[in-house]
């Protein structure tokens, strides 16, 4: 158990081992570890950000829904108004049409009545003339007595 050249060899190997570790092992593995740490930190930060974005999006959605509800209510009201208006208009139109039809019918009826009355009057006049002719047995000159006859017809 004496000191010999083994010491020198061990020293050389010692430096070689340290050099290889320093060059090819330590930076590579530690680099991977640090990169992963960074990735995880980034991931966590992204998670936080997403959470915040979600909150704002939720708030936005809520306001949008409220707005949409308001609009829907307004539209409904407007539609109701329009509907009543249309209904009223139709009703009024129908009523007017009814009046018009009624008036036309009445006018026609009156016309018919008048015509019938005229015909009746002429027939009565003819009957009267025939009757009178028979009664007085005398021919009436239609031309001479036209005025008289017209007056007679107008009286009937």
Would you say 23 or 87 has its CB closer to other proteins? 23
* Residue 92 to residue 90: CA distance in whole angstroms: 5
Query: Rule CB under 8 A: is residue 29 a binding residue for other proteins?
Result: yes
Compute CA distances 50 → 37, 39, 43, 44, 63, whole Å: 20, 16, 10, 10, 20
Query: Rule CB under 8 A: is residue 13 a binding residue for other proteins?
Result: yes
Please give the backbone phi and psi of residue 71, each rounded to the nearest 5 degrees, phi first. -60, -45
Element housing 144 (H / E): none
Stretch that binds other proteins, among 24-32, 55-63, 96-104, 141-149 (CB under 8 A): 24-32
End-to-end alpha carbon distance in the chain: 173
Please give the backbone phi and psi of residue 140, each rounded to the nearest 5 degrees, phi first. -95, 130
Query: Rule CB under 8 A: is residue 122 a binding residue for other proteins?
Result: no
Would you say 38 or 60 has its CB closer to other proteins? 38
Near other proteins in 101-120, by CB under 8 A: none
Query: Rule CB under 8 A: is residue 42 a binding residue for other proteins?
Result: no
Query: Rule CB under 8 A: is residue 41 a binding residue for other proteins?
Result: no
Query: Rule CB under 8 A: is residue 24 a binding residue for other proteins?
Result: yes
Q: How far is the CB of 13 from other proteins (least distance, A)?
A: 6
Query: Rule CB under 8 A: is residue 18 a binding residue for other proteins?
Result: yes
Would you say 5 or 135 has its CB closer to other proteins? 5
* Residue 13 to residue 10: CA distance in whole angstroms: 5
């Amino acid at each position: 158990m004496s000191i010999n050249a083994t010491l020198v060899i061990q020293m050389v190997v010692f430096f070689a081992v340290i050099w290889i570790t320093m060059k090819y092992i330590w930076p590579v593995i530690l680099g991977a570890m640090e990169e992963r740490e960074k990735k995880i930190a980034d991931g966590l930060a992204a998670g936080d950000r997403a959470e915040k974005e979600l909150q704002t999006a939720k708030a936005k959605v809520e306001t949008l829904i409220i707005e949409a509800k308001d609009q829907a209510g307004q539209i409904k009201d407007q539609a109701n108004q329009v509907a009543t208006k249309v209904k009223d208009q139709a009703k009024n139109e129908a009523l007017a049409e009814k009046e018009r039809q009624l008036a036309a019918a009445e006018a026609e009826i009156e016309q018919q009545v008048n015509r019938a009355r005229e015909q009746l009057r002429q027939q009565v006049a003819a009957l009267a003339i025939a009757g009178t002719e028979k009664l007085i047995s005398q021919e009436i000159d239609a031309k001479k007595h036209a005025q008289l006859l017209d007056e007679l017809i107008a009286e009937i």
